[in-house]
Amino acid sequence: MEPWMDREQVLLSGAEAHEFDHMMGIFEVPEEHLLDASVMLRVYAG
């Protein structure tokens, strides 16, 4: 997997896409610097 998340590759549904956009709005991190999707989702889920 590439070292950054690609919205179209990682997400499966519109609801998840909305959550992705919301999460990115909170963290405001360029895609190149994001962690692996599974790690990010674990962190986001707390």
pLDDT band, residue 15 (cuts 50/70/90): low
User: CA-to-CA distance for 19 and 1, rounded, in angstroms?
Assistant: 21
Taking residue 8's Cβ as centre, other Cβ atoms within 10 Å add up to 7
Residue 31 to residue 33: CA distance in whole angstroms: 5
pLDDT of 12 strictly over 60: no
Structure confidence at residue 22 (pLDDT): 75
Given a cut of 60, whether residue 24 has pLDDT beyond it is yes
The gap between the terminal CA atoms of the chain, to the nearest Å, is 23
Taking the CA atoms of the chain, what radius of gyration do you get in angstroms?
A: 10
The model carries a pTM of 0.25
Q: How many residues are there in the chain? A: 46
pLDDT greater than 50 at residue 21: yes
